[in-house]
A = this chain, B = another copy of it.
């Protein structure tokens, strides 16, 4: 599979440093090991390497994954990390063609993961209160090549959403309960609601409100990723780890028994 102009590639230094960049014929990229002429990269195979002008730097050319796009977003907010995004995609039950509302676009890292999961036939409706955040998120999603699957809207959560019968709603807001009623209205019967919150207090309040609203299968957890150092005769966990990103909370909407 050869690199074409216009594609995004990941240039990976053997030391682990890497660059996510769009290939253009006349562009150069300056690294700590020298300059790479991106014109020379066109036509190479993925998995090949490119040398810097001084031949001191050797960078492997990799097709970026959704994980890479997420980690490379320009951050104007705290981002949702791939480990949490992976479980969000799984617990929301996303599949090709799913329609999902995201409330709180932030920097767009979760948006990328959601858009990747629903495929070309799916759609993400991403709401964000702050115009400057949204504009940054749009650029980040464009950069991942998935912008056609996402519709961004500037709006406060409590104002409600335009969509009906969506398969899933994800809320990343300081007061997730502000979006609960609009989420219930937008979700189809049996649709899944997810929330990420950093504090015990937020998931407690939100879980209680979800229970009052009749959600079933309410479940909350957090995820600890523990990196290992596998080395010959000396395998052990890393000495430092991320201790907390946030608590996840999920539930399934059921239909009201009587019209309210």
- A residues within 8 Å of B by Cβ? 1, 12, 14, 16, 45-49, 60-68, 82-83, 85-87, 89-93, 95-96, 113, 116-117, 119-120, 165, 188-192, 198-201, 203-204, 206-208, 216-217, 219-245, 247, 249, 252-255
Contacts and interface: CB of A to CB of B under 8 A. Distances in A.
Most central of A48, A120, A190 by chain B CB within 10 Å: A190
Given A47-B255, A66-B93, A86-B90, A228 B241 contact: no
Number of copies: 4
A232 B253 CA distance: 21
8 contacts: A46-B189, A66-B93, A82-B91, A86-B86, A89-B90, A199-B235, A220-B227, A223-B224
Nearest to A97: B119
Nearest to A220: B228
Given A228-B220, A238-B243, A244-B239, A67 B48 contact: no
Main secondary structure of the interface of A (DSSP, over half): mixed
Contacts of A232: 204, 208
